[in-house]
Amino acid sequence: MTYAEIAAPETSEVGPQASAKPRNRYLDFGRRLVRNPQALIGSVICLTYLVLGIFGPMLASHDYETQNLMATYLRPLSPNHILGTDDLGRDMYARLVTGIRISLLIGFGVTAIAMVVGGFFGILAGYFRGWVDTVISGLVEFTWSFPLILIAVVLAGALGPGLWATVLAIGLINWAGFARVIRGEVLTLREQEYIQAARAIGVSDRRILVRHVLPNIVAPTLVMASYYVALAIIAEAGLSFIGMGAQPPLPSLGVMVAGGRNFLLFDHWISTIPGVAIVLIVLGLNFLGDGLRDLLDPRLRR
């Protein structure tokens, strides 16, 4: 495990229990990460996908949309086409890595925005209570009563099917999920003695929120985020699959699975390769979430 990826969640975890020796904490976290197989497998899978999504398309020898009708249905491991070609002779490797890039961009991008927006409102509602809480919680409940896929389909009707409708739908719904959980976390936090104490000696609300509340909700939020990235990726793929998301020839993983569905019987890899890619990244993210939850929970640290 490299330091870079261990440091990411750890830097943010500066709670009251933070020790005076940060170097040791990284080492300590690294040791626990290696001992936790779930977190380890999860982070290896996620890291592999990040590398594939970022650098994969640069290494592709073919364009993802160039057709070659002289070389259709090539099996994986064919010369020139490491993952074969599809029914239109397009290079499967180029399409796969582009699809992974799209999935990751949507998964991480939308989740990051949802996390910031949801976190903001969740903290406000949980910390200030009163009418602020009433309004925000009402809005959150309202948002939650819409099934994500339904919103996406209606938006696809409004904006025309495409990635934007999908992105908008996922963002519009998922911020509420973050707001809900973070509000709950803050509700219990604000009753803690050290926050009461800070308030008693006259520390401003802003300072309490930034210095004491925020660092303590980072861990549960990161755990949630990894599940939400997986959810976003599944939603995008599903919507693209039924034609309500990304439109061909853009090789979203869902579009690729849909494109290969008619050839499943004899040339299954056209559909199987992107399908397995989705399953793996979702499993990786779920593992990472479970693992992080165990690692970041101080109660389970012994």
Partner 1 sequence: MAVILVLASIAVFYALRIAPGDPSGTQLNAAAREEVRAAYRERLGLNEPIWKQYFVYVGNVLHGDFGTSLITGATMTDLLKVYGKNSLILGVTAFLLTHLLGIPLGIIAAARRNSIVDGVISTFSVLGMGIPNFWLALLLILVFSSKLHWLPSSGCCGVNYLVMPAVVLAAEGTAVTVRMMRSSMLEQLGQDFVRTHRSKGLSEWTVIGRRVSRTALIPIVSLAGLRMGWIIGYALIVETIFRWPGVGYLLVDSVIRRDYPVAQFFSIVLVLVVVVSNLLADLAYGIVDPRIRRH
Is there a contact between 166 and 152 (Cβ–Cβ < 8 Å)? yes
Say how far apart CA 125 and CA 141 lie, in whole Å.
Answer: 13
Beta carbon nearer to partner 1, 216 or 286: 286
Q: Closest approach of Cβ 66 to partner 1, in Å? A: 26
- Report the residue number, 165 or 195, with the smaller CB distance to partner 1: 165
Nearer to partner 1 (CB atom), residue 22 or residue 147 = 147
Q: Shortest approach of partner 1 to residue 171 CB, angstroms?
A: 15
Q: How far is the CB of 254 from partner 1 (least distance, A)?
A: 7
Contact (Cβ atoms closer than 8 angstroms) between residue 62 and residue 52: no
Shorter beta-carbon distance to partner 1: residue 128 or 144: 144
- Residue 244: CB minimum distance to partner 1, A: 7
- What's 161's DSSP letter? S
Residues sharing a CB contact under 8 Å with residue 81, sequence separation 6 or more, in sequence order: 62, 71, 74, 91, 92, 93
Site residues for partner 1 per CB under 8 A: 142, 144-150, 153-160, 234, 237-239, 241-244, 254, 257-258, 261, 264-265, 268, 271, 275, 278-280, 282-283, 286
Q: Phi, psi (5° rounding) for residue 78?
A: -70, 155
| Single-letter residue type at 104 | L
CB of 146 to partner 1, least distance (A): 6
Which residues have a Cβ under 8 Å from the Cβ of 73 and sit 6 or more positions away?
Answer: 84, 85, 86, 87, 263, 267, 270
Helix (H) or strand (E) holding 171, with range, is helix 163-189
Q: Which is nearer to partner 1, 55 or 142 (CB)?
A: 142
CA dist., res. 29 & res. 238, Å (int): 36
If the CB atoms of residues 198 and 234 are measured against partner 1, the closer one turns out to be 234
Burial of 145 (0-12, 13-18, 19+ CB in 10 A): exposed
Min dist. Cβ of residue 59 to partner 1 (A): 26
168 close to 110: Cβ distance less than 8 angstroms: no
Q: Smallest distance from the beta carbon of 147 to partner 1, in angstroms? A: 3
Q: Is the dihedral of CA 288, 293, 294, 297 positive or negative?
A: positive
Toward partner 1, which CB reaches closer, 84 or 275? 275
